Amino acid sequence: MKATFDGGTFKGMLAASTDWLEKIVPDINALNVYPVPDGDTGTNMLMTMRASLESVATDSNGSVSSFISAVDKGALMGARGNSGVILSQIFHGVARTLKKAKVVDAHSLAQALQSAADTAYSALSDPEEGTILTVIREAATAANKAAKSCDATATSVLAAATDAARTSVINTPNLLPVLKEAGVVDAGGHGLFTILEGALLYIKEKSNGRAPELLCNQKPLLAPKPEPSQDEDYYGFCTQFMIKGDNLSVKKIRSVLENMGQSLIVVGDASLVRVHIHCQNPEAITHCASSFGAVTDTNICSMDEQHQDFLLMKKTSLTTAVIVVCNGAGLVNAFADLGATAILPGGQTMNPSTMDILNAIERVDSDSIIILPNNKNVVTTARLAQTLTKKQVCVIPTKTIPQGIAAMIEFMAEADYETNVNQMAENYHSARSIEITRSTRDARINGLEICSGQIIALLDGQLMAAGESPVDVILTLLETLDIAECSVVTIYYGKDASEPEATAIIEKILTSWPHLSAGYENGGQPEYMYILSIE
Amino acid sequence: MTVAIVTDTIPCIEQELIDEFDINLVPIHMVINGKEYQDQISLTPDEFWKLYPDMEDYSTSTPPIAEYLEIFERLSKTTRDIACIFVSKSLSATAEVAMQARQLFLKDHPDVNIAIIDSRTAAGAQAFILLEMARAAKAGKSLDEVTAIANDMIPRVKYITALEGLKRLIKIGRAPKTAYIGELFQVKPLIGQVNNTGVVENLGRGRGTEKTMLKMAELMESYVDRTTPVHITIHYTNSVEDGLKLKDLITSRFNVVETHFTPYSPVICLAIGPSTSVAFYS
């Protein structure tokens, strides 16, 4: 047992925690309250951890204070999604306590964890129990209790915090009914536990040959865990995608892909398989995978290059620049045509980091910027980026694509910044959003019994209907709305949808509600078959 | 001997008013799928919309000098004073060609006075200037007085138009520089001339017919108080119903003392496609 941790120990713990987390990322992603293929908590936390790791790579000082300040900065700049932002605040809290430390003993480690909990809570306007917040708070409480023991060491405090985090994660469904109903634990909390566990195993030198534990009774994606990779230094492209088809064999897919890269994870069932692999040639992988079924939701990112680039649409000097986050060629074009200055690729399955957003802010040729996140997870990251620039930035908290379009329609290049902000903020709520996708697993939510592969519909982010066909669920959901008050319905069809089906949906809508104007656009979005904007 | 009034076919005023005030029209020309038409003369709005679905190749052109000369010649037989009001110079060369025609005409008719006025606007807004000039002429005002009335009206008249898209305006080079081409379903660009700049201005966008009309009314309210007496012209294209909806909305919101309701002429429909418009002054 180590009585104290020095900077080198912390550095090893951070690397080990990141590796440990990476092994369970697909499972954490799958811990979604809604069975939609958009779970990204694990990915967001991993990206944030990697950003921290990258930040400390150049730190050769060896002291805890130098290490922790590099971690703090890296996490802050690399934070993605809600979970990433909270994780960055946890690191920030630790850094505040340890900023002058050369080594860390039991007492100061407990204090740092307490500071982490306090900082994470204070970062949120409406902290919710049953989440990562509860997990860090209970871990800190346990750490403080352990630190009071006369034979306390830094290791014993970390072990107590990890144990408490584990218990806390398992208890999250008792605090948050929506988790209980979905049969899952909180994904962010689980990620934090895995990070603590990875650090503890590094200290105890017990991680070799093991895989992280999934703290969930109902494993969302039933599949054997992959063996730990023998080559963790491998770099190239982190390639993730789904295969949709009939009678898919996880075993067969794994056997075909296992020689094509490292860190292979293949999980799923006969109709939907999720693949994660590190490789040098992503195209060869997806081409090979396409022999099994339809390859969708492809997400390829360079592991050498943390920051996504963005599409700069307008290069001339502007009074007000608008940065939009969205995915899908059609939606990108729509926002560009409506006057967006820069488009950051991202959405449900790939949240841009704080650094990505900050990079876009700094590069657009304007000092007054409006950001349309178009996703609830990106709102938090965008707000964090807002605090890191000297430019005037307003985040209009659009949580869906229809809200983003509604805001963008109000934008006028010749209007002043304040007018644009007011007009866009006032009007983005006017659009209601229905998103259609397939359930990735069996679930029971909002009184709905949902089977894996079934079509499900989310109304403004809430799962409200399930059925056998997109048109059925759309009509069911529209019947619950006050359509008499609406005038325009626009359908953005995505990657796994078709124009003829979109036309058929429109005909059905117009038969039921002839007063509406209904039309479609090719959104090309990867996550949802259809996104409906109801105004 | 009264001042004769000449204009182009852009104001789109009612035939009864043309007859009542003896207004002389120089029609703008159009070439559609290789065939040339004179606006409102050889192509009516109804005929235009029948051609519209198959309209692949189209362009507009100013009236030939001969048509101006013919009108000046005819009018000079009964009057020595002619007042012309044309669509904004930045939108059409109609006024420029008229000046060349005047130069030619005056060589042979040095005793005739021809005033050529750039309305700096178009459509219903131009029509309000035209009507005030015609009323003054009919009341026996001099050419100078008619011209002064026009110059007084020019900065007061405005119009706001909702389009289906900007592609047609871009094709003919009349789109506002800052407007975006986006043609998303039911996203309606709003254009107009409200700041007396002479050029078409970008006034934002609306979503769906009803909300766009509400936005037009809100925009109008930034120039005219609800209680102030206001003169309006509603123009429509292929949907009389939409025109009527806009008319009802505007008359219910403002203290309207004069209303005109006419279809856009084919040349405007050609330039901007399906649209509704409100022109006004107070």
Residue B93 per-residue DSSP state: S
Give pLDDT, residue B171: 64
- The DSSP symbol for B261 reads E
Partners of residue B215 in chain A, C-beta under 8 Å? none
Q: Are B250 and B234 in contact (CB under 8 A)?
A: yes
Q: Is the pLDDT of residue A139 over 50?
A: yes
Considering only residues B12 and A214, tell me which one the structure prediction assigns the higher pLDDT: B12
- Report the b/e string of B230-249 with b at 16+ CB within 10 A: bbbbbbbbbeeebbebbbeb
CB pairs under 8 A between A and B: 57
Per-position b or e across A349-361, b if 16+ CB within 10 A of its CB: bbbbbbbbbbbbb
| Between residues A264 and A453, the one the model is more confident about | A453
Q: What is the sign, positive or negative, of the torsion defined by CA atoms of A207, A220, A263, A42? A: negative
Contact B185/A519, CB-based, under 8 Å? yes
CA atoms of B64 and B84, how far apart (whole Å): 16
pLDDT score for A304: 42
- What pLDDT shows up at residue A303? 47
Residue contact B187–A520, C-beta within 8 A:
no
pLDDT in tens, A335-391: 888 888 888 888 776 788 888 899 889 888 889 999 999 998 899 899 999 999 999
Whole-angstrom distance, CA of residue A384 vs CA of residue A367: 17
- If one compares A42 and B70, the residue with the highest pLDDT of the two is B70
Contact A339 B182 (CB under 8 A): yes
| B1 part of contact set with chain A, CB < 8 Å | no
Predicted confidence band at A231 (pLDDT cuts at 50, 70, 90)?
very low
pLDDT at A314 over 70: no
Q: What is the mean pLDDT of the segment spanning A6-34?
A: 85
Q: Is A535 on the interface with B (CB under 8 A)?
A: yes
Confidence of residue A395 (pLDDT cuts 50, 70, 90): very high
Which residues of chain B make contact with A520, given a CB cutoff of 8 A? 185
How high does pLDDT run on average in chain A?
A: 83
Given a cut of 60, is residue A403 above it in pLDDT?
yes
User: What is the predicted pLDDT for the residue at A268?
Assistant: 54
Q: Which residues 170-189 in chain B show a CB within 8 A of chain A? A: 178, 180-187
Percent of chain A residues past pLDDT 70, beyond the cut: 85
Q: Is A1 on the interface with B (CB under 8 A)?
A: no
Q: What angle do CA A256, A262, A268 make, to 5 degrees?
A: 55
The residues, ordered by sequence, that sit 6+ positions from A212 with a Cβ below 8 Å of its Cβ are A20, A21, A23, A24, A194, A197, A198
CB of A435 within 8 Å of a chain B CB? The answer is no
- How far is the alpha carbon of A296 from chain B, nearest alpha carbon, in Å? 26
Tokens of A503: 């036309």
Which has the closest alpha carbon to A326: A405, A233, A407? A405
Give dist(CA A427, CA A191) in Å, integer: 37
pLDDT at B147: 98
- Of A83-87, A322-326, A470-474, the poorest mean pLDDT is in A83-87
Residues 6+ apart with CB under 8 A from A326: A332, A335, A343, A344, A345, A346, A347, A374, A401, A404, A525
Q: What is the pLDDT of residues A252-262, one digit of tens each?
A: 887 888 788 76
Q: Which residue of B has its CA nearest to A533?
A: B185
Q: Is the pLDDT of residue A65 over 60?
A: yes
Identity of the highest mean pLDDT range in A217-226, A273-282, A517-526, B150-159: B150-159
Confirm or reject contact between B239 and chain A (CB < 8 A).
no
Residue of B201, B203, B207, B245 for testing the chain A interface, max A β-carbons within 10 Å: B207
Residue A490 sits at the chain B interface (C-beta within 8 Å):
yes
Kindly indicate the confidence band of residue A38, based on its pLDDT and cuts at 50, 70 and 90: low
pLDDT confidence of residue A338: 86
Query: How many secondary structure helices (H) and strands (E) does chain B include?
Result: 10, 13
**Which residues of chain B have a CB within 8 Å of the CB of A490?**
184-186
A76-80, A198-202, B13-17, B257-261: segment of lowest average pLDDT: A76-80
Quick: pLDDT tens for B11-34.
999 999 999 999 999 999 888 887
Q: Do B180 and A339 touch (CB under 8 A)?
A: yes
Residues of chain B with pLDDT under 50: none
**Touching check for A429 and chain B: CB below 8 Å?**
no
What's residue A228's pLDDT?
A: 34
Is the Cβ–Cβ distance between A29 and A276 less than 8 Å? no
Confidence grade of residue A13 (pLDDT, cut at 50, 70, 90): very high
Alpha carbon of A520: minimum distance to chain B alpha carbons (Å): 7
pTM reported for the whole predicted model: 0.70
Does B209 sit within 8 Å of A414, measured CB to CB? no
**Which residues of A fall within a CB distance of 8 Å from B209?**
487, 517
* Rg, C-alpha atoms of chain A: 23
Does pLDDT of A232 surpass 80? Answer: no
Beta carbons of B185 and A490 less than 8 Å apart: yes
* Closest CA in chain B for residue A341: B180
Greatest Cα-to-Cα distance within chain A, rounded to the nearest angstrom:
77
